[in-house]
Amino acid sequence: LHATNMASSLLGSSLRAAPLGHRLAARGPAVSPPILAPRSARLVVTQAYVEQSVVTAVSQQAIAFALVLGAEAAFSRSELLESNKGRPEVVPVAAGAGSSLAATLLINSGFGPLVTLGLIAGFIGSGAMIYYNGKRTADTTDEDIAPDWPGPKAWPAGMTLISFFALNVFLQGLRAEL
């Protein structure tokens, strides 16, 4: 700009008095504003709600929880008599394991609202398993099994604790999302 003012003063003309078009021509080639693509053609980049490391950790633990839940139920059903009120039932255990696996599928979808739904479903399912396994612990009697250590209440009590850990996994996933 300083060199332009010097050149114009040598020539006897003033850039300040020149119309806008002449001032732009005196500065050099005009730079046109960037041309934007129509809204429909713009590339939109979205960020994931939950980091991939969180998705992987929650998924691994949810799958492990579903497998352990099913394995413990199968073992306890084979050990306890049908008359024992603490014997695991197929439907509640299948619902708990199924909710954990469904939560894993939703979490791995990568779509924000489905990720949230998966974390909430896993949280509710593991909470229901805490209640169910706690009830099984209270209902289990040891009259039909030899009183050896740790006793028949150890399996449902252990599953109550594992269900609590799964509840915390889903809770931490929800906290990471927020």
Q: Which tens digits make up the pLDDT trace of 25-79?
A: 555 555 656 666 566 666 655 554 678 999 999 999 999 999 999 999 999 999 8
**pTM > 0.85:** no
Q: Shortest CA distance to 73 belongs to which of 156, 134, 15?
A: 156
Return left, alpha or beta for 26; rule: phi > 0 is left, psi -120 to 50 is alpha, else beta: alpha
Measured distance CA(144)–CA(84) in Å, rounded: 8
